[in-house]
Amino acid sequence: MRFLFVLLILAGAGVGFAYPWAITNFSGHEIGTWRVYEQGRFKPVTVPLASRDAPVRVLVDLTARAERIVSQQHTVLTLTAATNGRTELASTLQFNHSDNPRQASPQLPYRIFRDEAGVIATVNPGPYTFTVGQGDAEDIPMRAVDLILRSGAGEADGRARPIGFALLAVGLIGFLLTLRSGGGRPENPNSQPPAPRWGRGSR
């Protein structure tokens, strides 16, 4: 039984965490990467998109001198995407769920945190202007911000996380119960007291 619960834990982690992460970061193909913040200044970028690019996933990489981002529910960055004078995407980014940031360089104390701004499901052919700005979070030691666009990006099934969390919970609870009950191991015959050698019950 213990092995079964371990399998449930692994399956829950895969469905609840690995699958959405892989869909977000690797589905489709990358259109390009643009630097939108450097040397203390933000700058908008304009990218021509075609209808065949849809859906377009919008990702933002924040390079900062920090082990993790603790924004306390404040907004670190804001992002808008507009075309033909109409806003197609507006998002706030917090980066506080990035528990395993990438290291910018072994020689530098910077980490790269990634957050998703959203998906542009339908693309009207033409130039899209992406504008990234400062949020209301303070004391975030930003060094650079990059915009990443992925074309043909898949969308993770919304049921994946709840199912994964449920499997993970069942597996953990079951595994802990097997530890508490000794894992269902067969009883050791040597643990029984020896039979009396005389009197009632003697052999």
Which of 148, 114, 137, 164 has the alpha carbon at shortest distance from 14? 164
Count the domains in the chain.
2
Assigned token pair, 88: 């197609």
Tell me the pLDDT of the chain averaged across its residues.
Answer: 81
Interval 41-65: pLDDT, tens: 999 999 999 999 999 999 999 999 8
Same domain, 1 and 73: no
Do 7 and 76 fall within a single domain?
no
Residue 52 located in a structural domain: yes
Same-domain check for residues 87 and 147? yes
User: Cα 50–31–111 angle (5° rounding)?
Assistant: 145
Q: Which of 129, 151, 173 is the last residue of a domain?
A: 151
pTM: 0.65
Q: Is 109 among the domain residues? A: yes
CA dihedral of residues 105, 108, 112, 113 (deg, nearest 10) = 150
Residues 41 and 139 in one domain: yes
Domain CATH number, residue 55:
2.60.120
Q: Which residues pair with 113 in a beta bridge?
A: 62
Same domain, 60 and 91: yes
Asked if the structure places residue 188 within a domain, the reply is no
The model's confidence at residue 187, banded by pLDDT at 50, 70 and 90, is low
pLDDT of residue 118: 92
Residue 202 lies inside a defined structural domain of this protein: no
Domain of 104? 28-151
Tokens standing for 77? 């960055």
- How large is the average pLDDT for residues 179-200? 59
Residue 101 lies in a domain: yes
In this predicted model, what pLDDT tens digit does every residue of 67-101 receive, in sequence order?
878 766 789 999 999 999 999 999 999 987 766 78
Do residues 17 and 43 both lie within one domain?
no
Give the pLDDT score at 184. 47
User: What tens digit of pLDDT does each residue of 102-145 get?
Assistant: 887 888 889 999 999 999 999 999 999 999 999 998 788 999 99
In a domain, 200, yes or no: no
Cα(199)–Cα(203) distance, rounded to whole angstroms? 9
Q: Are residues 129 and 168 in the same domain?
A: no
Asked if 111 and 177 sit in the same domain, the reply is no
Q: Is residue 187 part of a domain?
A: no
In a domain? residue 192: no
